Amino acid sequence: MSTQLEQVLKKQQQQQKAPLETDIENIIQLVGFMVGDEEFAVPILGIQEIIKPIEYTRVPKTPPYVLGVFNLRGSVLPLIDLRMKFGLSRSKENEDTRYMVIKHNDEIAGFVIDRLTQAMRIPESAIDPAPETIHDEQNLIYGVGKQEEKLVSILNVEALLKRDF
């Protein structure tokens, strides 16, 4: 019994220690999601909330990827389809679809994503700048985060919220 307890305590201590060690390095917390077949992520601090799809109103004279505006508890926010923004076909709404409300300073907008994947912690050292071969005028990609077996594109929140029309 006591040995069990000890083991548990030890385990806890180890767990507590572990993050402390890595904290010395800057760790970025990200929320991963799918748009099309690719996984993207944005820093968790840039996300205000994630909601299930609700009704939106189309706004004329805007590019196709601006789906319209929606009502988030009394605020009118723009809704942007990330698939279309990335040049893919328009999202088909299903039960995994989410609106991700992203905020940077005073600018705020909802983005349609296909599916949430996971929350992740990536040390800054494991994030490479976006490869130069990616022709990216809008600077949408902040960097590429390396995880054990896959790569994830980290989006630049500021650029996402920048109006380009």
Partner 1 sequence: MDEFQEILEDFLIEAFEMIEQLDNDLIELENSPEDLDLLNRIFRVAHTIKGSSSFLNFDVLTHLTHHMEDVLNKARRGELVITPEVMDVVLESTDHMKALLEHIKETGSDEGALDVGPTVERLEAVLKGEAPKEAEEAPAAAAEPEPEPAEEEPDLSEMSEEEIEAEIERLLQERQEEDRKRREAKRKAEAAEVKPAESSGEPDLSDMSEEEIEAEIERLLKERQEEDRKKREAKRKAQEEAKAKAAQPREAKETAKSAPPATPKQKPQTKAAAPKERKASVEQTIRVDVKRLDDLMNLIGELVLGKNRLLKIYDDVEERYEGEQFLEELNQVVSSISLVTTDLQIAVMKTRMLPIGKVFNKFPRMVRDLSRELHKEIELVISGEETELDKSIVEEIGDPLVHIIRNSCDHGIETPEERVAKGKPAKGTVQLKAYNEGNHIIIEIVDDGKGLDPDMLKAKAMEKGLISEKEADQMSDKEAFMLIFKPGFSTAAKVTNVSGRGVGMDVVKSNIEKLNGIIEVDSEMDKGTTLKLKIPLTLAIIQSLLVSVQEEYYAVPLASVLETVRITPDEIQSVEGRSVLRLRDEVLPLVHLADIFDVERVFKMGEHAYVVIIGLAESKLGVIVDSLVGQEEIVIKSLGEYLKGIEGIAGATIRGDGRVTLIVDVGALMNMAKSVKSTLQNLESQEAVREKNSPADYNILIVDDSKTDRTIMRKALEPLGISITEATNGVEALNIMKDGSKSFDAALVDIEMPRMDGYTLASEIRKFNKFKQVPLIAVTSRTSRSDRLRGVEVGMTEYITKPYTPEYLMNVVARNINLDAEQRS
Contact residues: partner 1, CB under 8 A: 55-62, 66, 68-71, 74-78, 92-93, 106-109, 161, 163
In this structure, the strands spanning 107-113 and 115-123 are unpaired
Q: How far apart are CA 41 and CA 120, in angstroms?
A: 9
Nearer to partner 1 (CB atom), residue 113 or residue 120: 113
Nearer to partner 1 (CB atom), residue 2 or residue 105: 105
Q: How far is the CB of 148 from partner 1 (least distance, A)?
A: 36
DSSP label of 26: -
Q: How far is the CB of 59 from partner 1 (least distance, A)?
A: 6
Residue in the block written with tokens 């985060």: 145
DSSP label of 130: P
Q: How far is the CB of 66 from partner 1 (least distance, A)?
A: 7
Encoded amino acid at 4, one letter: Q
Nearer to partner 1 (CB atom), residue 71 or residue 118: 71
Tokens standing for 163?
Answer: 């109006």
> From the centroid of its chain, how far is CA 154?
7
Q: How far is the CB of 38 from partner 1 (least distance, A)?
A: 23
Nearer to partner 1 (CB atom), residue 84 or residue 109: 109
Nearer to partner 1 (CB atom), residue 39 or residue 85: 85
Q: How far is the CB of 1 from partner 1 (least distance, A)?
A: 49
Tokens standing for 127?
Answer: 């994030």
Half-sphere CA count of 17, side-chain side, radius 13 A: 6
